[in-house]
Chain A
Amino acid sequence: MKQYAVLLGMTGLAAVSFAKVDLVTLPASESVQITIYESADLTLVRDSRPLILRQGTNQLQFSWAGTLIDPTSLMLVPKKAADQVDITDLSYPPNAVNVGIWTLESRQAGRIPFEITYLTSGFRWRAFYAGILSEDEKTMRLEGYVRVFNQSGEDYENAQVRLIVGQVHLLDEIAELARRTWPYGRPGEGMPPMPALVRQKRSQLAFGAVKAMDEIAMAAKPKEIRKEGLSEYFLYTIEGTESIPNGWSKRLPSFQAEAVPVVNLYKFEEEMYGPSVIRYLYFFNNAEHHLGQTPIPGGAMKVYRTVSKQGHLTHEGGCEIKYIPVGQEVELNLGPAEDVLVKPKLMDYKTDNYRFDDRGNISGWDEIQTFAIEVKNSRPLPIRLEIKRNFPTSYWTLEHRGDSGKIFEKVDMDTVRYTLHLPPQSARTIEYVLTTYHGVRQEDWTRQNH
């Protein structure tokens, strides 16, 4: 399975002349666990192997030619009899590329289980989603998938696969570390990278497809994915083991939620979206929405709608969604909507309350603008509509006509929002008078408001 080789042998020779190290045992791998990160090209591999140690000094050679392993991340850890074994040294010998030799001092002879861990580049995974709206668009079936890609240069067979959601802080790209000629570089100079790996097409890949089909046929039910939070990360552990040959990818279902109640939310903000109204589907990642078990990793979302009793679908739109913690709302941006209209109109404009300084120049004035915002929902569904208005100053007053004041809230010092719930095929108008204060009139405004 592995391209890298692990060899164990007794030392006794001058360690400087490494070529003469007598390496005799090739221990087989017992289990492999790969933990793939989403936010970076980074995978933690844990390879468990029993080593037969002799009492005294042992040397273990590990080579990783043709892989994307970061040699500075190599670690060897005894899983038993840890107090009997000291791992004193890891040497990267001269004139040997992609080889490391561990020196172990063992006070015990016999079989001891070890773990070799390292970071590698070349794996990635991403989440993606399909949302299928009911005909009345009140609920949605949400299907989550993950797709795992192996471009690591290695075939992984029967490996436990774990996926990590979270923003990890890295100082160096693992791929760059893997390509270095010398693991830690040379003193006083930057490292020219080695040429990129030439990936080999392997004959076994042709058989891999057949094998993968067999596996699917044999699987009685989709695999469970265990989900748990750790530190700032979320860890998905796929049940059992997976085999992913180099160059292949694998898609796995991660969750499915039926009848998630959704709100058709429309947003209008000229400064952000221009004259269009943007359609969103809005729901919460919580139990009320048949979700809320885990955060939802960011990924691409495709939204379909059921259009017939036979289950035919139409594609409503697609978007990227961000990471959604448990309890947070999800807003799926489905793009501009044609059937919901928002038309702000300036109905009247005047200036007033001029102030003049002692030289007769204008020192202050008010601008009074009357707006009518026409709103129309042509859809056969009730919708929620949010209209944001930004003002050029924080010195303003707003006077509402009709009941527009009831749906108004101040967002910050120069932004307000109107939230409307519009019945199917309905229209209404929001009317307000905006007075903005300029020059010394700002002081009058301040006095009035204290």
Chain B
Amino acid sequence: MKQTIWFAAAAGLLFGAVGAQARTKLAALPQRENADIRMDNPAFTLIEEERILTLRKGLNQVDFAWQAVSIDPDSIRLTPLDHPNGVRILNVSFPPGEAALVWEIASDGDWAERVRISYLLGQIDRLTAYKAVADKGETKLDLTAYLIVRNFSGEPFANARIRLDADSVFERDLADGQTRQLLWMQTRALPVKKVWTWDSALQPWDPEELEQQNIGIPVRYRLVNEKDAGLGRTALWPGKVRLFQDDGRDSTIFLGEDDLAFLPVGEKAELYIGDSRDIVVTQRKMKEEQINIRRNRKEQIVLFDTEEILTAKIENFKDSPAVLLLIERIPGQWEMKSCNLPYTRKDAETLEFEIALPARKGDKPAVVQLEMNYLRKNIRP
């Protein structure tokens, strides 16, 4: 196994300033005893390795050098483990023109000292990827999480402990240039809720105006990272989720894929799987009139209200019921005069309607009509 990080320990050398020509490197290389690859921080990978250093009583110089690997020199630390009080690091020197450093270590005895060297290594990281299989009824999800470890650091690791968090430790060899996909977490029957969303700010209003084009209504699965749902042990790291569905015939279909954002315990996530073309929303503005017009002395309009009527016809062509989240937006100051369906005001301008759509009857779509009559107030031209 090619190694690109190495040690040279020179005991008892006291040749003046570090970096001088007299610095001696010895060939007795202390082997790496074991290595921990800590990947709990997604942006940085910390390597902690243990080696046995042969120290003589007095001053010792220990070389640490690397080649063709990306190590942050400021992150390199050495910690004596057997004699934490008897072994002291006096200083660290960096020779010119070399990817190396020299520790000057004072030892109170002749010891084979176990030390821990840690450093941040570049070009080695991890991703998370998820695969999920929904049941036929789309209420439950079997979720499998994988840790993808990519080592392009230039350094191979034999039998390293790859640590994601306190509970997730994998002992593996990790060659340079190797990618490993490790099984991280499996959750069965995670409850999910399927939602269809039509947003008046994002979707076209009138399908009739689009020649031979379907308007897709985004479909999402909602899930919660909580104990009741079979998760809740740890945050879920961001990653691509590929969703499949059991087809009831001992096979699956691929539903779609989405990015899961970082999901702390207790938080909700939505995964966008694809678009439905079996729910059709036709929204039209049936009225927009200026009222309560106020003018200045020059008879110019300075303030007015509008009265508006919006209608939306929602047709469900599916042979199963669905819950459509319909989002309407009324900018500025407004007042609802009448609305035939209940809504939740999500913020100043956003109204959310949760509309239960029955399944189509025979080959006739189920139709729900929404009508909103509202005033927009104190508008300046």
Binding site for B on A (CB under 8 A): 14-18, 33, 35, 37, 42, 44, 46, 72-73, 75, 86-95, 117, 119, 162, 164, 166-172, 182-188, 228-233, 235, 272, 284-288, 292, 295, 298, 319-323, 325-328, 331, 333, 357-359, 363, 394-395, 410-413, 442-443, 446, 449
B150 interface residue per 8 A CB criterion:
yes
Chain A nearest CB from B161 CB (Å) reads 14
- Residues of chain A within 8 A (CB-CB) of B240 are 171-172
B289 near A187: Cβ-Cβ < 8 Å: no
Among candidates B173, B175, B180, B214, residue contacting A90 with C-beta atoms closer than 8 Å: B180
B293 near A413: Cβ-Cβ < 8 Å: no
Assembled-state Cα–Cα distance A185/B318 (Å): 40
Assembled-state Cα–Cα distance A333/B210 (Å): 12
B299 near A357: Cβ-Cβ < 8 Å: yes
Query: Can you report 23 A-B residue pairs in the complex whose CB atoms are below 8 A from each other?
Result: A15-B173, A16-B158, A44-B252, A73-B242, A89-B182, A164-B253, A166-B277, A167-B274, A167-B276, A185-B150, A231-B273, A232-B275, A285-B363, A288-B363, A319-B212, A322-B212, A322-B213, A325-B277, A359-B298, A394-B287, A412-B285, A413-B284, A449-B289
Contact with A along B240-264 (1 / 0, CB 8 A): 1010010100011111111100000
Given contacts A94-B176, A187-B125, contact A169 B258 (CB under 8 A): yes
- Residues of chain B within 8 A (CB-CB) of A95 are 177
Q: Which candidate, B13-21, B130-138, B225-233, is the interface stretch facing chain A? A: B130-138
Among candidates B156, B213, B319, residue contacting A326 with C-beta atoms closer than 8 Å: B319
Chain B nearest CB from A238 CB (Å) reads 14
A33 near B251: Cβ-Cβ < 8 Å: yes
Among candidates B182, B254, B287, B315, residue contacting A35 with C-beta atoms closer than 8 Å: B254
Chain A nearest CB from B94 CB (Å) reads 25
A166 near B274: Cβ-Cβ < 8 Å: yes
- Residues of chain A within 8 A (CB-CB) of B212 are 298, 319-322, 331, 333
Quick one: closest A residue to B210, CB to CB? A322
Assembled-state Cα–Cα distance A395/B253 (Å): 53
- Residues of chain A within 8 A (CB-CB) of B138 are 231
Given contacts A187-B125, A333-B212, contact A325 B180 (CB under 8 A): no
A323 near B277: Cβ-Cβ < 8 Å: yes
Given contacts A14-B173, A169-B257, A171-B240, contact A94 B360 (CB under 8 A): no
Assembled-state Cα–Cα distance A323/B217 (Å): 13
Chain A nearest CB from B2 CB (Å) reads 10
A91 near B273: Cβ-Cβ < 8 Å: no
Contact with A along B102-127 (1 / 0, CB 8 A): 00000000000000000000111101
Q: Could you tell me which residues of chain B, from 269 to 306, have a CB within 8 Å of some CB in chain A?
A: 272-278, 280, 284-291, 293, 298-299
B46 interface residue per 8 A CB criterion:
no
A186 near B254: Cβ-Cβ < 8 Å: no
Closest 7 CB pairs of A and B: A94-B177, A325-B317, A286-B363, A167-B275, A412-B284, A169-B256, A357-B299
